[in-house]
Structure 1
Amino acid sequence: MAQLYFYYSAMNAGKSTSLLQSAYNYRERGMHSIIYTAALDDRYGVGKVTSRIGLQADAKLYAKGDNLFQSINNDCKSRKLDCVFIDEAQFLTKEQVKQLIDVVDELKVPVLAYGLRTDFMGETFEGSHYLLAWADKLSELKTVCHCGRKASFVVRLDENGQAVKNGNQVQIGGNDTYESLCRKHFKALVWD
């Protein structure tokens, strides 16, 4: 039975690594899957999902306004589709999450979405909000704060290494721009 899965975490928990490993497992068994990633994140190349440990795979791009159900349905017409992977799922829109639900319910294809739960101010992204509400299965991938506690938050840093407390929700960046923190250290930098 197909289901919608949401694997979420703070940065540096291995979301892309886990996605790439799962996609490899399907491919190794002769199964067909498709990987999608957000068009706005091209740090590692356009149409690429890349992990920090060096794994990489080609991916289709999605942007706001794209109809994922239609795209995936077209792929199903040309050959059997065994799984859909979504990287950077926090950037999905509410409508796109509904479309992925239709992929699961109508096309009977499992969808595994991977993304951040919250932004640098501790607020959920639109895609994450609806995936947390509507996914069949939720799984938290864990990473650690510098103090050793579980990191559940991400802080954005300015060019001087200071916490940014306001601004646009989306700013693409890596370890030079963001740091994963436990709630205690996040609160001390952002909420206090």
Structure 2
Amino acid sequence: MRTLAFTAEIDDRFGSGRISSRIGLSASALLYNVNSRLYDVIAEEHEKQAVHCVLVDECQFLTREQVSELSDIVDTLDIPVLCYGLRTDFRGELFSGSHYLLAWADKLVELKTICHCGRKANMVLRLDENGNALKDGAQVVIGGDDRYVSVCRRHYKEALA
């Protein structure tokens, strides 16, 4: 079965056009940015050769229009779309892509992360170079485990106090 994988152009931590898992699996992916017309790209690829599934990594960076286009892929081309990404940023605010995916998705599956205390980690701290939690800054700063840490709400509040 043919799967088209996409990842955000701005996230090049693992190389441009690469999706990588925390356990070391990786794959090539098409890049998207805020100007990408995902419906057009996927429909064109589907016309050349059947596309059986679309996977979008870093979906928090999708625009409202792109989420709408992905819903059109599901509804008009009958191709399943799987999206993976963060729900909220380091300030506890929804990303735009996450906002519309949460509102319009047919099904939501949460992959749980655990805080260092053992509770469910539902918040993300952004750390400075000294490991201190940041309260302000741009919503998007690309980084990995050295820059971000998942914590429970209690430890999130304590870190920002």
How many angstroms apart in 2 are the aligned matches of 1:62 and 1:128?
16
Q: What do you get for the CA RMSD once the two structures are aligned?
A: 0.6
Q: Deviations over 1:13-52 (max 9, x none)?
A: xxxxxxxxxxxxxxxxxx1111000000001101000112
Say yes or no: does 1:98 pair with 2:68: yes
> Is 1:154 matched up with 2:124?
yes
Runs of 4+ in 1 over 3 A off after TM superposition: none
Residues of 2 paired with 1:151 and 1:172: CA distance?
20
- The alignment partner of 2:108 has SS state of strand
Whole-angstrom distance in 2 between the partners of 1:175 and 1:44? 13
Any unmatched runs of 5+ in structure 1? 1-30
Corresponding residue for 2:10?
40
Between the aligned partners of 1:59 and 1:153, the Cα distance in structure 2 is 28
Distance 2:154 2:101 in 1: 26
| Counterpart position of 1:76 | 46
Tell me, in whole angstroms, the C-alpha distance in 1 between the residues paired with 2:15 and 2:63.
23
Partners of 1:131 and 1:71 in 2: CA distance: 20
How many Å separate the matches in 2 of 1:90 and 1:67?
A: 16
Q: Give the % identical residues.
A: 58
Secondary structure at 1:69's aligned position in 2? helix
Letter in 2 for 1:35: A
Larger RCO (alpha carbons 8 Å, 6+ apart) = 1
Q: Give the secondary structure class of the aligned counterpart of 1:139.
A: coil
Q: Give the whole-Å Cα distance in 1 for the aligned partners of 2:22 and 2:106.
A: 28
Match of 2:157 in 1: 187
